Amino acid sequence: MAIPGLYQYIQEMISKQIASLYLWPQTLEIPILDGSVGATKKPVGILHVKVVRALKLLKMDLLGSSDPYVKLSLSGERLPAKKTSIKMRNLNPLWNEDFKLTVKDPQSQVLQLHVYDWEKVGTHDKLGMQVVPLRLLAPHETQEFSLDLVKNTNPNDPQNKKPRGQLVVQMTFNPFKEDYERFSGPLDRYASNESGVGRLPKHDGSICGAGLLSVILQRAEGVEGKYHNNPYAVIIFKGEKKKSKLVKRTRDPCWNEEFQFVLEEAPLKDMIHIEVISKRLHFSLLRRKESLGHVDINLNDVVHNGRINEKYDLINSKNGVICIEIRWEVT
C-alpha cells in the first residue's frame, strides 16, 4: 500500500471484490396498467348458473358407478370454485342447484365446469370438463346448454374422442343497470338529457331487486392493541365472514381490499359488521388475538345513494378510525 501508484489501484480492486458479493439492482421495471385493463376489474354484472343434471357419466368405482359433483368458476378469478352436492352411486345425477358469480368481462371470460368423482380417501378422479364463453349469452335471457364432456380443452388430444357423458346447465347474465348500455344498447328507463346522451336514473327506495354489494376496506388509523399491533379486518354480513390480509407491526394499516356479496334483494334493513383484530405472530401464553375496535354500518343509505365513502370511529377503541367504501349495484 506504501508503493507509489499502487494505492488507488488496490482500493479499486478491493471495492470491486466487495461489490461482487452484493446484488445491486440496476433497473426496476414497474408495469403500469392502462385504463382498459383496469376497467375489466370492476364487476359489471351477475352470472346465474343452474347446474341441472348430467347424463351417462364414466364409471369410476369398482361397482360400476361414480359419485359425481361439479365445480364451477369463471376464468380470470382467484376466488375458490363453487361446488354442487355429491350424488352417490349415480351416472345420471340430477342437481337443479343454483349459483351466482360476479362477471368482470363478459366478452372474454368463460364459465369453467369440471365434473369429479368423489373419493373418501385420496384425490378425486376427473370425469370430464367443459367451458362456456359468456359472449354467447344475451343479457337477461336464460339459455340452456347440453355440453359434451371432454378430458381437457386441447382439441388435438385423442382422449377427447372418448365419450364422457353430458352436463346440462342453464345460464343467465344480468348486467348492472349502469353497465347495461354497454352490452345491449340504451334502456327504455334511461332519461335523455339535452345532449341526447343516455344517463342513469338516480337510486331510490324502489330499487329492491338483486344486486352486488361491494365493500372496499381502505385503511385504519390509530388502532392500538394492548399486547400487539398486527391488524386485519373481519367483515360479517348475513352470517358470511370475510377476512382482509394481516399487516404487521402498525397502528395505521392500509388494506385496499374489496369483498363482494351477491344478494337476491336490496339490503334496505340490514347492517354490516366490521371489526379490526390484532393477531400475535408467534406462540405465547399471552392473548393470541384481541379486538382493536368495530363498527356496525346501516346499509339503507348505501342502497338509496348507490355508494358511500366514509371514515368511521371504531367502537371500543381509544382513537381508532376506519375508512370504508361501500357500493350497491343492481341488475
- In our burial notation (b when 16+ CB lie closer than 10 A, e otherwise), range 209-240 reads eebbbbbbbebbebbebeebbbbbbebebeee
The pLDDT value given to residue 7 = 76
Strand segments (E) across the chain: 45-55, 68-74, 82-83, 94-103, 110-117, 125-133, 143-148, 166-175, 191-192, 198-199, 211-221, 231-237, 240-243, 254-263, 271-279, 289-298, 307-313, 321-330
Cα–Cα distance between 40 and 24 in angstroms, integer? 36
The pLDDT value given to residue 50 = 98
What integer is the mean pLDDT of 109-115?
Answer: 97
What integer is the mean pLDDT of 306-325?
Answer: 95
Residue 198 has pLDDT above 60, yes or no: no
- In our burial notation (b when 16+ CB lie closer than 10 A, e otherwise), range 133-165 reads ebeebebeeeeebebebbbeeeeeeeebeeebb
- The CATH number of 45-175 is 2.60.40.150
Residue 25 has pLDDT above 80, yes or no: no
Residue 5 has pLDDT above 90, yes or no: no
pLDDT band at residue 52 under the 50/70/90 scheme: very high
- The CATH number of 211-330 is 2.60.40.150
The pLDDT value given to residue 41 = 62
SS3 125: strand
The pLDDT value given to residue 222 = 96
For 199-242, the pLDDT digits (tens) are 333 444 445 678 999 999 999 999 999 889 999 999 999 999 99
pLDDT band at residue 284 under the 50/70/90 scheme: low
SS3 15: helix
Equal fold, 45-175 vs 211-330: yes
pLDDT band at residue 20 under the 50/70/90 scheme: low
More confident position, 9 or 232: 232
Domain boundaries, the chain: 45-175, 211-330
The pLDDT value given to residue 133 = 95
Which amino acid, 313? D
The pLDDT value given to residue 195 = 34
Rg (the chain; Cα; Å): 27
What integer is the mean pLDDT of 264-289?
Answer: 88
The pLDDT value given to residue 286 = 67
Residues 6 or more apart from 61 whose CB is under 8 A from it?
67, 89, 117
The pLDDT value given to residue 147 = 96
Residue 31 has pLDDT above 70, yes or no: no
Q: What is the pTM of this model?
A: 0.69
pLDDT band at residue 80 under the 50/70/90 scheme: confident
Residue 77 has pLDDT above 80, yes or no: yes
pLDDT band at residue 164 under the 50/70/90 scheme: very high
Residue 115 has pLDDT above 60, yes or no: yes
The pLDDT value given to residue 227 = 87
User: What percentage of the chain exceeds 70 in pLDDT?
Assistant: 82
User: What percentage of the chain exceeds 90 in pLDDT?
Assistant: 63
